[in-house]
Structure 1
C-alpha cells in the first residue's frame, strides 16, 4: 500500500521495521505504536501497525484502525481494497463488494481491486452451481443459503435473484420471492431471456400466493394478487380460472363468468373450465328461480347444460323453472333426463313423484317421454359443449 513520506524515521520506527522483517509481529507492533505516538501525523506507522495486527490475527483491532484510516482519507483506493480483502476472508461478501466498487470508482484500473472483483464473480457462479445441485436434490434451504452467498458476491446478477426468488416461492415465502423477482426484472435487459424468466416466476409467485390466500379464506387478497399476475401475463388460462373461482366464492357471478370464459377462450375444450362456467350459470339460475324470474332461470339452466350436459341437477332445476312457467310436458322431459343421469337422487325422485304420479322410475324411463329423453341425452353427449361466444 502506498504511504506518504514521514520525514526522518526515529529509532522506534527503524526498530519496528527490523522486527517486521523478522516476522516478530508483536514486538514490531509495539515499536510502530511508539513511533505513531511520537509522530501522530505520519500515517505509515499506523499502516504498518495494521499489517502486524492482521498477521497476529487481531482482526477487530485491525478493522477498527482501518476504518479510522478511511475516515481520514475517503479517497484512498488501497485502503478500500485492503478492507475488501478482510471482508472476503470472513465471508462478508456484500461489504467486500461495496469496498471493491468504491476502490474501482476512485481508480478504475486498480489491479488488486479488479483481481478481487473477478474472484468474487467466480465465487458467485460457483455458489450458484452449488445452489442448483442442492435444489435438484430437494434441499431447498441449502440451495437458498448458497444462492444468497452468490448474491452477496455479485448483487448485480439478475439470474441469481431469479433463482432465489424461485426457491423462496417454493418455500412459500411469497413476499420475499416477489421482491427478489422484481429486482431480477429491474437488473435484466428489457425483452431478454433473463427478463422473461423473472417475469414468469413473478407471475407464478402471485398465483401461488393467491392459492395460499384462497385456502385460508382470504378471497379479496387472492383476487388482488391474481389481478397483479394478469397485469403482467394475460395469456395464462389457469390464472383466469383461479380468479374466477375466487369471484365465484365471493358471490360475484358476473366477474366469475367473465374470467372463466376468458380461460376457456385461451384453452378451448377444457372440460374443467366448462364445468366451472356451468356451475356459475347454475347458481345464477337458482338465484333467478328464488326471485321468481322463471324465464331467466330457465335460460341460465339451459346454458349450464350446454357447458356440462352430464350434471343431472341442472336438468332438474330447469324442470322446476319450466313447471313454474306451466311447461309441464317439457318439465317432464327434463326430469326424465335427470333420472337417466342419476336415478337415485332424492331431489329428482321428489319432483318425479309430482310430475309422474304413481309411476316408478323404471316406468318413467320406459315411457315415451323417457325414451325421447334417452335419445336427446345420447345426442347431447355426442356433441361438444358450445363455447362462450356462442351464448351471445
Structure 2
C-alpha cells in the first residue's frame, strides 16, 4: 500500500498534464467535430510523454537534481534563459486557464459567475501550496481527478454499438463539414496538451522534493508507466463522450458544461456531479503543478532555495514567485477573456516551444557526467529522436494552422 501511494506523484502529474483545462477543451472539441478520429494523437502523446518523463525521472533519481538545474549547467545560462522565458510565459497562461477551469467547475456547481470564483480559487491555491503537505496535495487531487473515469463509462453506456466505436477509433475519416487543416489543428492541440513543458519540470522537481535516489529508479518508472497512461485513458473518455453524444448531432463543444454532459445523460445527477468533481480536481491539480513548475524553474535558474517543503522564510524568493504567478494569472482572467479561448491559444503557443523543452532533456539524459552508466540506451535514444522530430514538426505547423483555421473555427 505504501508503494501504491508513492505512485501518486505520477498520478497527479498525469491528471494535471493530460486532463487539465487544455485537454478538456481540445479533446471535447475534437470529439464533437471529428468523432474518434484523433484517438491516435492521444496514443502518440501518451507514448511521447512517457519516453521523456522516464528520462527526466531517471536523471533526477541518479543525480538527485532536477532536470532544469542540469540544463542550465550543461547547456549554459543563455540557452537555459531562452528555455526559462518561453516556458515561464506559457506556464503563466496555462495557470490562468487552469484557475479559470476551476472557476468554471464551481460555476457549474453553484450557478455564480466564474469571475466571482476566480479570486477565491487563487486564494485557495496559494493557501494549499503554502500550508498543505506535498503528499496530501498529490493524493487528494490526484485520486479525486480519477472521478473523470465516469465520462469513459458514460461513452460506453451511451454508445449503441461498441464494435463500431472501436472501428471508428482506428480510422481517420473526415466529416463532410470539416477540412484537413482543421483536423490537423486539433491534432496539434491535443498533442501539445499531452506534452506540456510544465509536466516535465514538475515531475522532475517533485522527485527531488520526494528525495528520490538511485534506489528509487523503479518507483520513478512506475510513476511514469502507470500515471501517464492513466491520464491518457481519462483524456480518451472526454474524447469518446463528445464523439458519442455531440458528433452524431453535429453539435460542436465550446463550453466545459457541454464537456461533462455525457456523464449526466448516462448516469443522471450523480454522474454529472462526479464529472464536475473530476474537472475541479484535475484543473486544481494542474493549477498546483503550473504554479510550482513556474517557481521551480525560476528558482533553479537563479540558484535560489526552493521547495514545497521549505517554509516561506527559508525560500522567500521561491514562494514570492508562486504568489506573483497566481496574481498575474488572476489579473489575466479579469481582462474577461474566455478561459476556453485562452486555453486554445495557450495550447498552440505550448506547441511552439516544445523543442526548447525536450531537446535539452535528451542531451542531459545522454551525459555520463551526470548519469554514469544510466544514460539512455539505444531504444530510449531512438524513441527520443523520433519524438524530437515530431515536436519540431508540431512547433513549425502550429502557428500556420492557427491562422489558416481561425483557431479551429
Per chain length, whose mean CA-contact separation is higher, i.e. which structure has more relative contact order (CA < 8 Å, sep 6+)? Answer: 2
Structure that is richer in helix per residue: 2
Q: TM-score, normalised by structure 2?
A: 0.16
Q: Which has the larger radius of gyration?
A: 1
